[in-house]
Structure 1
Amino acid sequence: MSYRIGSGVDFHQLVEGRKLWIGGVEIPHYKGSLGHSDADVLLHAICDAMLGALCLGDIGLHFPNTSAAFKDIDSKILLEKTFELIRKEGYDIVNIDSTLCLEAPKIKPYVEQMRNVIANILHLTPQDVSVKATTTEKMGFAGREEGLMAYASVLLKKGE
C-alpha cells in the first residue's frame, strides 16, 4: 500500500465588510477574510496539503485568482474539486490534522460543525478530521487581528 503525506498553509487578511468563512462555516465576526474566493483559509490549506501530497502543484495553479470563474467561489467547491483530483490519481484520504492561528473570534463553538462539513465533502468521518486553533499571543499580524492563517497535514493512501 502506498502512502503520501502533504502539508498546506494559507494566509488571508482580515477586513471589515467581508464574511468570515472558516472550515466551510460562516462565523459571525466584524471582520472577514479578504480574497478572490470566499477566502476560507482552512479549506485552502487542506486543498494545498492534498495537492502537495501527490506533487500536483498548489491551489493557485488549479484555481487561479486571476480567473473570473473563481471570483467569490465557495471554497467548499474548491475542496470538492481538489478531492476529485486526488481520487482521479487513485488515492483516498486517511486523515487530516489542521491548526488555525487567529486571535479572534474564538472558534471552539464551531469546530464540530467544521469537522462535519469537511468530513462530508471528503467522504470521511468527523473522527478523521482534526481542527485545532491557537492564538499567537498577540504577536504578529494574526495577533494584531490583521489576518489569520491555517496549517494542514493530510495522509493519503493508494486505493486497493
Structure 2
Amino acid sequence: MEKGTLVNFQGKSLDEIEIEDEIDLDLDEEEVSDDDNEESEPVSGVSEKTKMGLGEADSSTGKSQMNQDETENSRETKLRRIVKRPWSPNEVNAVMKHFRVHISKGHLATKAECEQCKAAEDPLLRERTAQNIRDFVRNRGLMLKKKSS
C-alpha cells in the first residue's frame, strides 16, 4: 500500500486481501540518527494496515478493559448507595406543613424551597437532603393523583 498499490485491493473483501505479517524493522544506525534530528515520521517497513491492526488490538483491549471498569464502577455505586430510610411521622408532618399546597396542586418543589424547609425544620430534617425532600413531595403528589383517578 505504501508503494501505491491500493488499486490492487479495490473491490476485494478483507478475507481476499493478503498482507505481509512480518515487519521489517532492520534500521541502519545512520537512519536512526537521521530520525533523531527530524520530527517523528512513520518508520519505513511498517505498513498502514499493520498500524491499524495494532490500533484495533489496543482498542479492543481497551473496550474490554472499559467494560470491566464499568462493571466495577456500577458495583461500587451499588455498594456506596445509602440505604433507604423510611420517613418518620415527624419528618412527614414537617415536610407536609411546608408543601401541602404543592402536593395538592401537583406542583414540584424547587431546590430553594426544599432548602428553606430543611433550614426551618433543622433538627428533624438534618439527615435528609434537599433532593430527598423534593422526591418526597413529588412522590406524595403522584400518589395523591393516582388515588383521585
Shorter-normalised TM range? under 0.3
TM-score (structure 1 length as normaliser): 0.23
Which of the two has greater helix per residue? 2
User: What TM-score, normalized by structure 2, do the two folds share?
Assistant: 0.24
